[in-house]
């Protein structure tokens, strides 16, 4: 495979992401004007934009916003928020009526800052036709509520392990593990070389939930892509499915020294420092982060994305889906909502969608047929083109409590305060709430 893979002709394989157990909620639509109807009011010439930022190297939101300001003269007040605080802070501000005008949320209803949950609560403004046009086919349920669109996907991300091949080679590991047994062996080799195979942000539950979802690609969804639908129908449970193996594998990794010392106390800085500081071979974070981290190493390292090794002889499988969405504050003035929509119309244009994807290290939601896959995705390019992936599972889970039960429970697995059966039972109970 070439290092820079064309994705011309792969557009539909990439974008046809199945919505597993699509969420349907009843209630009133969100308040506010929005919708891109400029006939009722002139658009404001300024608005505020709040977005998560895991580290200083993540400047893609600022960069695309600055390009828009330079092109249009509109003023955008940029308000970065630490990544581990962004969701809770935004939700609190939305409830208080003082949130930013342009927001970064997550698709679906599976997290507290999910598009569907916030729209149901009347906290978002409906969006216009340009926003609807870039929603990947079959994923409309992740961005709509009561017949209206409330979220515009930012880009797509292929997720597994972000891999530092140079650091791996320094530990004598020249080939990426092909199976889980190979991974466990590599953990021992890395430890013998004084390195960590994988670094975790153990104090941040969503990072632990993220690695569980990455592991679930082959343990659950490769064999049963409609597993979430089966769970919604009551035909399967977390406790009696491949999800048990997901957590068992996580525990085995912990017991085998795959994670850094004191992983339970790790944070995003631990991940950044490990990957670009030359002490860790990998981390389970969105594949899009490989670009920012490679840049932050100032040319020392070039990181890429690898599929989490399957349990046995199964073929590799990825988690690939939109991770974030643009949204408009439903409590902002109508003129400000119009200004936000004009920005969203602009960023939805193919050339700007591709530009944002390149800046953020992801895959564009528009203009993909004329774009090229970033080098970091070269190791998973064949999986992407073959459609060997599933969306992030929790996007279509019925409520945020299921993911909370998984993420918080995994913290307990690191410290020995919880057990696998208890976590799975909690997840099933949360699903059935």
Task: Identify whether the C-beta of residue 99 lies closer than 8 Å to the C-beta of residue 90.
Answer: yes
Q: Are residues 221 and 307 in the same domain?
A: yes
Indicate which CATH number applies to the domain containing 283.
Answer: 3.40.190.10
Residue 53 inside a domain? The answer is yes
pLDDT at 361 over 90: no
Which comes out higher in pLDDT, residue 19 or 184?
184
What confidence score (pLDDT) does residue 124 get? 97
Q: Are residues 215 and 335 in the same domain?
A: no
Residue 366 inside a domain? The answer is yes
Task: Identify whether the C-beta of residue 305 lies closer than 8 Å to the C-beta of residue 381.
Answer: no
pLDDT at 150 over 60: yes
Q: Are residues 87 and 212 in the same domain?
A: no
pLDDT at 102 over 50: yes
Q: Are residues 169 and 246 in the same domain?
A: yes
Residue 388 inside a domain? The answer is no
Residue 9 inside a domain? The answer is no
CA nearest to 217, candidates 255, 197, 177, 245:
245
Domain enclosing residue 266, as ranges = 159-320+399-431
Q: Is residue 390 within a helix (H) or strand (E), and if so which, with residue range? A: strand 389-390
pLDDT at 21 over 70: no
Which comes out higher in pLDDT, residue 323 or 277?
277
Lowest mean pLDDT among 34-43, 59-68, 198-207: 34-43
What is the DSSP annotation of 39-62?
Answer: TSSPPPSEEEEEEEESSTT--HHH
Q: Mean pLDDT across the chain, nearest whole number?
A: 88
Q: Are residues 145 and 204 in the same domain?
A: no
Task: Identify whether the C-beta of residue 11 lies closer than 8 Å to the C-beta of residue 300.
Answer: no
Lowest mean pLDDT among 3-7, 128-132, 235-239, 417-421: 3-7
Residue 394 inside a domain? The answer is no
3-class secondary-structure state, position 106: strand
Count of domains observed in the chain: 2
pLDDT at 431 over 80: yes
Q: Are residues 125 and 258 in the same domain?
A: no
Residue 102 inside a domain? The answer is yes
Distance CA 227, CA 27 (A): 27
Q: Are residues 134 and 30 in the same domain?
A: yes
What confidence score (pLDDT) does residue 384 get? 82
What's 208-229 look like in SS3? HHHHHHHHHHHHHHCCCCCHHH
Residue 350 inside a domain? The answer is yes
3-class secondary-structure state, position 349: coil
Which comes out higher in pLDDT, residue 367 or 270?
270
CA nearest to 258, candidates 174, 198, 173, 169:
198
What confidence score (pLDDT) does residue 31 get? 31
Q: Are residues 93 and 197 in the same domain?
A: no
Radius of gyration of the chain (CA): 21
Lookup: tokens for 25: 């909620």
pLDDT at 23 over 70: no
Task: Identify whether the C-beta of residue 223 lies closer than 8 Å to the C-beta of residue 404.
Answer: no
Mean pLDDT of 66-89: 93
pLDDT at 38 over 80: no
Q: Are residues 243 and 171 in the same domain?
A: yes
DSSP β-ladder status, 156-159 and 196-198: unpaired
What confidence score (pLDDT) does residue 8 get? 31
**String of b and e for 107-129 (b: at least 16 CB within 10 Å)?**
bbbbbbbbbbbbbbbbbbbbbbe
Distance CA 168, CA 274 (A): 12
Q: Are residues 293 and 329 in the same domain?
A: no
Q: Are residues 54 and 146 in the same domain?
A: yes
pLDDT at 22 over 60: no
pLDDT at 32 over 60: no
What pLDDT, in 10s, does the model give residues 152-181? 999 988 999 999 999 999 999 999 999 999
User: Across the strands, what pairs with 320?
Assistant: 158
Confidence class of residue 112 from pLDDT cuts 50, 70 and 90? confident
What pLDDT, in 10s, does the model give residues 215-252? 999 999 999 999 999 999 999 999 999 999 999 999 99
pLDDT at 383 over 50: yes
Strands of the 161-163 sheet, one edge to the other: 196-198, 280-283, 161-163, 304-306
Residue 296 inside a domain? The answer is yes
Distance CA 176, CA 316 (A): 12
Mean pLDDT of 365-375: 78
Q: Are residues 359 and 293 in the same domain?
A: no
What is the DSSP annotation of 294-339?
Answer: HHHTTTS---EEEPPPPSSSPPP-EEEEE--EEEEBTTS-HHHHHH
């Amino acid at each position: 495979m070439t290092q820079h893979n064309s994705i011309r002709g792969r557009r539909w394989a990439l974008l046809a992401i199945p919505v597993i157990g699509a969420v349907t909620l009843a209630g009133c639509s969100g308040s506010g004007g929005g919708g891109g109807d400029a006939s009722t009011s002139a658009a404001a010439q300024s608005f505020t934009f709040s977005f998560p930022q895991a580290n200083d190297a993540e400047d893609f939101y600022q960069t695309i916003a600055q390009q828009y300001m330079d092109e249009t003269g509109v003023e955008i007040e940029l308000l970065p928020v630490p990544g581990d605080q962004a969701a809770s802070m935004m939700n609190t501000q939305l409830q208080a009526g003082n949130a930013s005008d342009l927001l970064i949320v997550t698709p679906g209803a599976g997290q507290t800052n999910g598009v569907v949950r916030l729209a149901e609560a009347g906290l978002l403004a409906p969006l216009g036709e340009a926003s609807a046009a870039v929603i990947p086919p079959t994923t409309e349920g992740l961005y709509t509520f009561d017949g209206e669109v409330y979220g515009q996907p930012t880009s797509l991300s292929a997720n597994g392990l972000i891999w530092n091949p140079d650091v791996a080679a320094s530990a004598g590991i020249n080939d990426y593990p092909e199976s889980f047994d190979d991974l466990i062996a590599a953990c021992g080799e890395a430890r013998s070389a004084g390195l960590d195979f994988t670094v975790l942000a153990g104090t941040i539950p969503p990072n632990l939930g993220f690695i569980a979802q990455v592991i679930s690609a082959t343990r659950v969804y490769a064999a049963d892509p409609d597993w979430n639908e089966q769970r919604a129908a009551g035909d399967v449970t977390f406790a009696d499915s491949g999800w048990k193996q997901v957590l068992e594998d996580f525990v085995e990794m912990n017991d085998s020294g795959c994670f850094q010392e004191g992983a339970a106390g790790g944070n995003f800085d631990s991940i950044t420092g490990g990957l670009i500081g030359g002490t860790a071979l990998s981390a389970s974070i969105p594949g899009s982060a490989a670009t920012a981290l490679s840049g932050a190493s100032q040319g020392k390292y070039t990181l890429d994305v690898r599929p989490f090794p399957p349990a046995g002889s199964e073929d590799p499988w990825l988690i690939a889906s939109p991770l974030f969405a643009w949204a408009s504050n439903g409590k902002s003035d109508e003129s400000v909502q119009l200004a936000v929509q004009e920005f969203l119309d602009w960023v939805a244009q193919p050339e700007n969608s591709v530009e944002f994807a390149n800046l953020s290290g992801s895959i564009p939601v528009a203009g993909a047929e004329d774009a090229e896959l970033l080098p970091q995705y070269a190791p998973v390019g064949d999986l992407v083109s073959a459609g060997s992936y599933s969306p992030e599972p929790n996007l279509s889970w019925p409520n945020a409590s299921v993911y909370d039960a998984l993420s918080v429970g995994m913290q307990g697995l690191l410290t020995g305060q919880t057990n696998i059966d208890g976590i799975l039972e909690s997840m099933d109970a949360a699903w059935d709430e």
